[in-house]
Structure formats: structure tokens, C-alpha cells
Amino acid sequence: MSNAVLELGTQVARGEIQRLDDSLANVRNRALSLLSVATVVGSLAASLGLVDPRTSASLTSRILLAALLVPSVLIATTAWYTLRPVAEWSYGRNPQKFVEMFQSDTSEEECRKQLITQLTEAISENEGHVHKRTFALRVAVFLLVVQLALILVAVVLSPV
């Protein structure tokens, strides 16, 4: 295999690691935005008088209050999961291993192959982390829609 092909493989793998890192940052930014929107929705519910414990005497009001709080707690939980650091994030390279390979007179071609293999394994691991957090973000978006729907139903059913 030529050095040019190995160099290209290394560049592609490094680019993919960077793309996944950028994707994770994007998902985290969206989770922060979603948490902010959920806070605004909670404020809207409070300003409409839907989340006031002092006036929540009826069973319907208590059920509505619980129904609004459950999505809020779940949205906060999914945002926390998305925002927490990924302890297992891998950049795929162990410099010590390459020093050992150099000391054992391993060829440059073999070193490059090992690097590509390590980067490919890191890509697979990191894709799983990004996919889990993306799924959590989608769940949070769904919960936000549920929360908004509950507020609309409460406004429609509330006595004027």
C-alpha cells in the first residue's frame, strides 16, 4: 500500500473524529437551547395561572400541575444527560504505542496502518456516544411538545 493512500486514510479518520466532536458540541448547544425554551414554557404556564400551588385546590388542577411538572423534570434530565462530559471519548491514538513500535523497528507503513485502525475504533465508540445523546435530545423535544400541548389543553379547558 502506498504512503499516499495511508496518509489519505489517516486524514479521513482524523476528519471523522473531528466531525463527531463537532456533532457532540452541536447536540449540547441544542440541549441548552431546549432547556431554555422549557423554562420559558414553564414561565408561560405560571403566568397563565396554571402552575400556582395556592390556587390548585381542585383535583383537575393538581393533575394538570403534575402533568406539567413531569415533562419538565424529564426535559431537565435528558438535558443533563446530553450535557454531561463523555468520559470515554476517544481520539484513537496512544502515542506510547507508536514510540514502542518505532523502538521495535516497525515500518512506517505498519505504524500508519495501526493509526488508522485505532482511529477507526475510536470513530465507532464515539458514534455511539453521539447517537445516544442525539436520541436523548429528540426525546426532550418530544417532551417539550407534550408540555406545550398540555398547556394549550389547560387554557382551553380553564374557566374564563
Written as one string, the DSSP assignment of 72-122 is HHHHHHHHHHHHS--TT------HHHHHHHHHTT--HHHHHHHHHHHHHHH
* Reduced DSSP (H G I as helix, E B as strand, rest coil) percent helix, strand, coil of the chain, to 5: 80, 0, 20
Nearest CA to 35 out of 81, 4, 66 is that of: 81
Instruction: Give yes or no for residue 21 having a pLDDT over 70.
Output: yes
pTM for this entry: 0.76
pLDDT at 54: 63
Provide the residue type at 148 as one letter.
Answer: L
Percent of the chain with pLDDT over 90: 15
Helices (runs of H) and strands (runs of E) counted in the chain: 4, 0
Average pLDDT over residues 136-148: 91
For residue 59, report the phi and psi dihedrals to the nearest 5 degrees. -65, -40
Mean pLDDT within 37-49: 79
Q: Which amino acid is at 158?
A: S
Task: Quick: pLDDT tens for 44-101.
Answer: 777 777 766 665 556 666 777 777 888 888 988 998 999 888 888 887 777 777 777 7
